[in-house]
Structure formats: C-alpha cells, structure tokens
A = this chain, B = another copy of it.
Amino acid sequence: MIIIMKPGASRSNIDHVIGMIEEKGLNAHLSEGSQVTIIGVVGDKTKLAHSNIEIAPGVDHIVPVTESYKLTNKKFHPKDSVVQVGHVLIGPGTFTVMAGPCAVESREQVLETAQAVKKAGASILRGGAYKPRTSPYSFQGLEEEGLKYMKEAGETAGLPIICEVTSCHALETAVRYVDMIQIGARNMQNFELLKEAGKAGIPVMLKRGLSATIDEWLNAAEYIVAEGNSNVVLCERGIRTFEPSTRNTLDISAVPVLKSKTHLPVIVDPSHASGVRAYVEPLAKAAAAAGADGIMVEVHPCPEKALSDGPQSLTFSDFDKLCRDLAPYAGLAGRRFP
C-alpha cells in the first residue's frame, strides 16, 4: 500500500500517517518529492484493513499494491489448474463444450437434446432448473423435477451435467443430482451462496457479474476457494455496456487477462454474451482463438418454442455445424476437441 500526500500536507500530517502505520507494527518508507510526499507501507497490510488512512488529514489518496485475492492469484499459484467434472477434464490441453437448453422444459426435451449434443461433440450437458428471470411473470423453472430429468438425460447420454443454482436451498437439492453447479451472473456477489458452494465441495462454474470487474470476479471466486473448494471454473458471459446491438458485450480480452491473473480455467458463453443465434458461431471461434478452455452454448430442439432464451438458442443442426467448424480452431490452439 502506498499513501500519496496532498501538495500542502504538513509535517504533522505526515507524522500522523506514519504513526497509524507503525501502531500496527508495520514500517513506513518516506519519499519526499518536489511536489508531494509518498509513504510506502512495508509489512502485512491486512493489519491496516480497519485504519482508514485515506481520510487522515493531508492524505490525497492511497494506492493498493497487491490484489486482495490470494488463492486464486497466479502470482502465488503459477500452475494452471485442471478441474475434473465427472470424467471430463477442464483446463490446459482440452476444449470443453457444454451444451443444452437454457431451461429444462420436459423430460423428452432434455433426453432428446442430450443425445443430439453428445453426438455432435459436447462433453457436458447444461440445462436450467432454477431460472433467474427479470420479470416475475416469466417461466421460473421446473426445479427439482428438472434436476431429475437432467440426471437421467446425462446418464443416458454419458455426459456429466451442470445446472444453475439461485439460492442456498436450491444448492442443497442440486448437489444430489448434478456433477457441477453454476452460479449465474446475477448471483456472482451473493456471498452466502458462494460460501455454501465452497463448503459443498462440488465443482463450480462461476459466471461474471453483469458489471463486475475482473478483480471483483476473482474475489468472488476467492470466497469459494477460501472454503476449501478449489474446483472453480470461470465463465465470461458478456458485460453490460451502452451498445444495444447485442444483449451484452462479450469481453473477449477477459480470456487473456484471466490467463495472466489466475490459474483457474476459463469458459466463454457466446449465447448469453450476444443474445443472437447468428453471432454464436463467430464468437465461439473467437473464444477458442483467444485461449479459452471451452464454451457453453444453448441448444434447443425447437428454438421458436423455447420457454427461455429462444432467440439465442441453436438448433441441433446449427450445433452440429458449430462443432465441426469450431474443432479446427481448438486444434490450432493446441487443444483436444471435444
């Protein structure tokens, strides 16, 4: 931590700050410049967590030097992680394709979709049983019944399954059925849920919040890992910007940024990022080219009749084409597909 004093800071202002630092058993290093004085803090800065030095008299602002996330930080854990979900390994060398309907609507729908996506090349089956919907009047999901259909569909097709949970209650139920849980964008900072997911020990895919910075996202992941569960995968799904052509704006740079900041695997969701079926394929290819460890895409037997997110869902035949066209990009990126 570095403290930047105001140009007119007095000697006693500076001494007061040094006192705040030394009182906690830390050392202060002074740099007196022509215009401003800078004070560097040496030692364990967490001891200063409750000293609000930025409002001490004469202080202009403070600059943190190290990130607050530790367990998820590549600086301290340089080796890229591999997360195992059923028999599937997510991480270096593989390209994981998670596919399935946005919402589980019926037993037939998921059974049929599981077969189709497995055949085309998917490695994990996705499907929502608990749906976070903007309006209370939209379809809210089949809940536990949906989880049962997913489990059956996954077992029949030989695919591990992933389902979103939107509350601690849903989490408790889901762990009995699924291989991986998803924490969605709207719950990225639902800290109770993060802690419970950490305790549950099950693999977790944590989506980025609609307007979360990458550092906030890694801090959210830290909540899970700090409970002893290091099986965390991150999923970039688009951020909120001013551009209305797409539902969200896919932050493709997040892939290399995450690869430099954390050891956790990174998945891209081009369906939610764009909200438009025609853009899913180019964005999926971009994800592979940028170094992602996989993608998650929405597939539906009949998108025109989907109860949720139809406009961004691929048909079986779209998805089959996607896999065929995407495979060589994953190959170029040095990854086994699927």
Chain A residues proximal to chain B, CB less than 8 Å: 2, 4, 6-7, 29, 31-36, 38, 40-44, 46, 49-52, 54-56, 63, 65-66, 68-69, 75-76, 132-140, 166-170, 186-187, 189-193, 195, 209-211, 213-216, 219-220, 222-223, 226, 239-246, 249-257, 260-261, 273-274, 277-279, 282-283, 285-291, 303-307, 310-311, 328-329, 332
A246 and B240 contact, Cβ closer than 8 Å, known pairs A32-B42, A33-B43 = no
Identify 11 residue pairs between A and B in the complex whose beta-carbon atoms are under 8 Å apart, listed by A's number. Answer: A31-B40, A32-B42, A52-B306, A136-B226, A166-B191, A186-B189, A239-B243, A249-B249, A249-B253, A252-B286, A256-B274
Are the C-beta atoms of B7 and A134 separated by less than 8 Å? Answer: no
Are the C-beta atoms of B135 and A68 separated by less than 8 Å? Answer: yes
For this chain, the copies found in one complex come to: 4
Contacts of A43 in B (CB 8 A): 33-34
Contacts of A216 in B (CB 8 A): 134
Q: What is the CA–CA distance of A290 and B156 in the complex, to the nearest angstrom?
A: 35
> Which 4 residue pairs across A and B have the least CB separation, nearest first?
A52-B310, A211-B211, A31-B40, A289-B289
Contacts of A256 in B (CB 8 A): 274, 278-279, 282-283
Q: What is the CA–CA distance of A285 and B267 in the complex, to the nearest angstrom?
A: 17
Shortest distance in angstroms between A104's beta carbon and chain B's nearest beta carbon?
A: 14
A133 and B303 contact, Cβ closer than 8 Å, known pairs A2-B2, A138-B49, A213-B244 = no
Q: What is the CA–CA distance of A226 and B137 in the complex, to the nearest angstrom?
A: 9
Are the C-beta atoms of A329 and B169 separated by less than 8 Å? Answer: no
| Closest chain B residue, CB of each to CB of A312 | B55
Are the C-beta atoms of A167 and B139 separated by less than 8 Å? Answer: no
Starting from the known contacts A31-B40, A256-B279, 12 additional A-B residue pairs (CB-CB under 8 Å) come to A2-B38, A6-B75, A7-B76, A29-B29, A46-B137, A50-B307, A51-B305, A68-B134, A209-B210, A211-B242, A256-B283, A285-B289
Shortest distance in angstroms between A58's beta carbon and chain B's nearest beta carbon?
A: 13
Are the C-beta atoms of A166 and B192 separated by less than 8 Å? Answer: yes
Are the C-beta atoms of B33 and A42 separated by less than 8 Å? Answer: yes
Q: What is the CA–CA distance of A232 and B244 in the complex, to the nearest angstrom?
A: 23
Shortest distance in angstroms between A248's beta carbon and chain B's nearest beta carbon?
A: 9
| Closest chain B residue, CB of each to CB of A214 | B245
| Closest chain B residue, CB of each to CB of A305 | B50
Q: What is the CA–CA distance of A304 and B287 in the complex, to the nearest angstrom?
A: 30
